[in-house]
Amino acid sequence: MTTSNIKANPLGAALCEKKWARWTALALLASAMFFAYIFVDILSPLQELLQEQRGWDPVAYGHFAGSEPFLNVFVFFLIFAGIILDKMGVRFTAVLSGAVMVAGGSLNYYAVTQGFQDSAVAVFLTENLNLPSAWWNVTPFYAGMPASAKLAAIGFMIFGCGAEMAGITVSRGIVKWFKGKEMALAMGVEMAIARVGVAVVVVGAPVIASIVPVEVSRPVAYAVLLLIIGLICFITYGFMDKKLDSQGVQEEKDDPFRVRDIGKILRLPIFWLVALLCVLYYSAIFPFQKYAINMLQCNLQFSAKDAGLVFFIFPLGAAAVTPFLGHYLDKYGKGATMLIFGAVLMILCHLTFAFIVPATQSVIVTLTAVVVLGISFALVPAALWPSVPKLIDEKLIGSAYALIFWIQNIGLYAFPMIIGSVLVASNPGVTDPMKYNYTVPMCVFASCGVAALLLGFALKALDAKKGYGLEKPNHVADDAEKELIGAAESMEE
Ligand SMILES: C[C@H](NC(=O)[C@@H](N)CCCCN)C(=O)O
C-alpha cells in the first residue's frame, strides 16, 4: 500500500478519468484477490476430513495453516515484495504475484491428493524434515508430521508470498486508478469482495468435498483453477495499466524501501501501537477462521456443511458492513473509537464461543456471536488501514505498510500453531475430531482481543495528546490537500 500520486495526463481525459474504466480495473484486481482469499481458507472447513483421509491431527493442521506467512516472515519476502513493487510497478508485480500463487497453490493441491500418498516424494518427505520440537525450530516442520502436510505447507508458504505481494500490489493499483476519486470506497469494496471469498469457501468447500466419492483434495483443485483465473485477471489488468501509462498517467514510484527507513519508523511509538494492535487483532481473526468450523462442529455437533452455513455469516456480514464503515470514517472520523469498539466486540464473541456456546449449544447464541464478530471484523480493518497515513510521514508510508504487514504475518504464522498445540494440550487423549473442547483456545483468542483493546486505548490517548487526527474525518485531510494543490496550481499560473 502506498500513497503515491499520479502525474496529470497532458493529453486529455485518461482512462482512469472514465468511471467504467477505473471500476473495471478494480473488478479485475478485486477478482484476483477474491480468488486468493478463497484459496487461503479452502482447507479450513475440511479439518475433520483431513484427519480422516490424510491423518492430519490438529498439530499437523496447525503447522500447515501457520506455514503461509513463513517465507514472508523469516525470509523477509514481504520486504522484497515491497522493493519489487517499488522498482517494477503494479503491472509486473501483479502478474508475478498471480503466477507465484498458482505455483504454490498447485503444489499444495498435489500434496493433498491420493496420488501423492503413494508417491516416492511422500516416502522422501516422511523420512526427512523431521525437525525436533525445540525452541529454535521456527519452521512448520516437526518429527512425525504427515508427508502430505509437509508438502502442503511448502506449497502454502510459496502461495503466501504471492498472496501478500498481491495484497500490497492491489492496494497500490487502487491508488493509481482512484487517487482523488472514490478511493476509500474502492478499498472498502475490494476488502468486502475478499471477505465474500471466505464466505464462499466455508459453504462451498464441504459441499464440493462431499460429492461421492468424498475427496478432500477436490475443493483445492477448484481453488487452483480460480487462482489461474485470477492470474488471467491480473494479466488483463496489465493491458489496462499499460494503456494508462501510455496516456501519461504513470505511477509516481515511491521512494524505494530503504533500510534506514526501518529505523525511522521503528522509533515511532505510534507505529508500535498500530503494528501491535494489528498483529493482535488479526491473530485472533485469520487463525480463528482456520479453526472456527471445527469449533462449531464440536460445540453444536454439526456436520462441516452445517457449521459452514453458520460461519458463512461472519465474512458475509463483514463484507456487507465494511464499505459503509469506510464511508463513515471518510465522513465523520472516529477511527480510534472504531478500533476500540471492534476489539470489545471481538472479546465478547470469543468469550461467548469459549463458555456460552458449549454450555448452551444454542444455535441462536452462536449465530448472534458470529454476526457480531463480523461487525467487529468490519470495524477494525475499515478504521485501521486508512488511519496509517495519518500517523506516518507520507514518504515512509510504503515502508510502514510493509513493516506492519510483516509484523502482522508473525502473528498469522505463530497463532495457528499455538492454537493447534493448545487444543491438543487442553484435550488430553481426544482423537475424535468432533470431540475437541475449544474453551482454552478461544480464551487465547479473547486475550489477544484484550491486549488489542488496551492498545486501542493507548492509541486514542496518544492521538489526543499529539493530535494525529485519528478521530477526524478523512475528507478534512482531502480538503486540506485540495487546498494545497489549488494553491500550488495558482502559484504555477
Ligand atoms: C487488508 C487486510 N489484509 C491483510 O491484512 C493481509 N496482510 C492478510 C491477508 C491474510 C491472508 N494471507 C485485510 O484483509 O483486512
Cell numbers at 103, concatenated: 505455483
Q: Is residue 11 part of a domain?
A: no
Distance 12 CA to ligand 1 centre (A): 37
For ligand 1, whether the C-beta of 408 sits within 6 Å is yes
Q: Tell whether 306 is covered by a domain.
A: yes
**Domain match, 204 and 315 both:** no
* Ligand 1 contacts CB of residue 40 (under 6 A): yes
Write the secondary structure of the chain as one string of H (helix), E (strand) and C (coil). Answer: CCCCCECCCCCCCCHHHCHHHHHHHHHHHHHHHHHHHHHHCCCHHHHHHHHHHHCCCHHHHHHHHHCCCHHHHHCCHHHHHHHHHHHHHHHHHHHHHHHHHHHHHHHHHHHHCHHHHCCHHHHHHHHCCCCCCCCCCCCCCCCCCCHHHHHHHHHHHHHHHHHHHHHHHHHHHHHHHHCCCCHHHHHHHHHHHHHHHHHHHHHHHHHHHCCCCCCCCHHHHHHHHHHHHHHHHHHHHHHHHHHHHHCCCCECCCCCCCHHHHHHHHCCHHHHHHHHHHHHHHHCCHHHHHHHHHHHHHHHCCCHHHHHHHHCHHHHHHHHHHHHHHHHHHHHCCHHHHHHHHHHHHHHHHHHHHHHHHHHCCHHHHHHHHHHHHHHHHHHHHHHHHHHHHHCCHHHHHHHHHHHHHHHHHHHHHHHHHHHHHHHHCCCCCCCCCCCCCHHHHHHHHHHHHHHHHHHHHHHHHHHHHCCCCCCCHHHHHHHHHHHHHHHHHHHC
C-alpha–C-alpha distance, residues 492 and 478, integer Å:
21
Q: Give the separation between CA 333 and CA 184, rounded to whole angstroms.
A: 13
Query: Do 223 and 174 share a structural domain?
Result: yes
* Cell numbers that stand for 141 in this block: 516442520
CA distances from 231 to 40, 98, 228, 235, 242 (A): 16, 5, 5, 6, 16
Rounded Cα–Cα distance for residues 322 and 382 (Å): 6
CA distance 142 to 457: 39
Looking at the structure, tell me whether residues 247 and 325 fall in a common domain: no
| Gyration radius (Cα) of the chain, Å | 22
**Relative to the CA of 163, which ligand 1 atom is closest?**
12
Closest of 168, 153, 165 to residue 77, by C-alpha: 165
Kindly give the number of the ligand 1 atom that is closest to the alpha carbon of 171.
1
Query: Domain for residue 171, yes or no?
Result: yes
Please report, to the nearest 10 degrees, the dihedral formed by the alpha carbons of residues 75, 254, 35, 343 taken in order: 80
pLDDT at residue 482, as a whole number: 45
Give domain status of residue 24, yes or no: yes
Give pLDDT tens digits for 157-209: 999 999 999 998 898 888 788 877 777 778 889 999 999 998 899 889 999 99
Boundary (domain end) residue, out of 257, 278, 298: 257
Query: Does any domain span residue 140?
Result: yes
Confirm whether 305 is domain-assigned. yes
Q: Mark whether 280 and 239 lie in a shared domain.
A: no
Q: Tell which of 233, 257, 281 closes a domain.
A: 257
The pLDDT score that the predictor gives to residue 142 is: 94
Output the pLDDT for position 8: 47
At 332 the pLDDT is 87
User: In terms of domains, do 238 and 353 share one?
Assistant: no
Ligand 1 centroid vs 234 CA: distance in angstroms? 18
**Domain shared by 348 and 462, yes or no:** yes
The Cα 452–Cα 463 span in angstroms is 16
Work out the angle at residue 171's Cα, subtended by the Cα atoms of residues 392 and 326, and round it to the nearest 5 degrees: 75
In ligand 1, the atom with minimum distance to the C-alpha of 286 is 10
What is the C-alpha separation between 402 and 399, in angstroms, rounded? 5
Considering 223, 257, 291, which residue would you say is the last residue of a domain?
257
Given its phi and psi angles, is residue 472 left (phi above 0), alpha (psi -120 to 50 degrees) or beta? beta
Q: Domain check: are 347 and 309 in the same one?
A: yes
Q: 265 and 350: one domain?
A: yes
Kindly state whether residues 234 and 266 are assigned to the same domain.
no
Each residue's pLDDT expressed in tens, for the chain with a length of 493 residues: 333 444 445 555 788 888 999 999 999 999 999 999 999 999 988 988 999 999 999 889 989 988 999 999 999 998 888 778 877 888 999 999 999 999 999 999 999 999 999 899 999 999 999 998 877 888 999 999 999 999 999 999 999 999 999 998 898 888 788 877 777 778 889 999 999 998 899 889 999 999 989 999 999 999 999 999 999 999 999 999 999 988 876 665 555 556 677 788 889 999 999 999 999 999 999 999 889 989 999 999 988 888 988 988 999 999 999 988 888 888 888 999 999 999 999 999 999 999 999 999 999 999 999 999 999 999 999 888 878 878 877 667 667 778 888 999 999 988 988 998 999 999 998 888 889 999 999 999 999 999 999 999 999 999 999 999 999 886 544 444 444 444 444 444 3
Q: In angstroms, what is the span from residue 71 Cα to ligand 1's centroid? A: 16
Is 381 found in the same domain as 243? no
Which range of residues forms the domain containing residue 263?
Answer: 259-493
Domains: count for the chain:
2
Residue 3 maps to a domain:
no
Q: Are residues 468 and 329 part of one domain?
A: yes
Atom 15 (ligand 1): residue with closest C-alpha? 381
- Biggest distance spanned by C-alpha atoms of the chain: 79
238 C-beta neighbours (distance < 10 Å), count: 17
Residue 191 beta carbon below 6 angstroms from any ligand 1 atom: yes
pLDDT at 444: 97
Residue 493 lies in a domain: yes
Pocket flag, ligand 1, residue 286 (CB < 6 Å): yes
Pair 318, 452: CB distance under 8 Å = no
pLDDT for position 109? 97
116 CB within 6 A, ligand 1: no
The CA distance from 314 to 312, in Å, is 6
**CATH number of the domain that residue 398 is part of:** 1.20.1250.20
What is the structure's pLDDT at 80? 85
pLDDT of residue 161: 95
Atom of ligand 1 nearest to the CA of 282: 5
Closest CA to 148 of 234, 51, 222: 51
Same domain, 180 and 274: no
**Three-point CA angle 408, 412, 413, nearest 5°:** 115
CB atoms within 10 A of CB 333: 21
Substitution site in 282, 285, 404, 409 for ligand 1 pocket (most atoms within 8 Å of beta carbon): 282
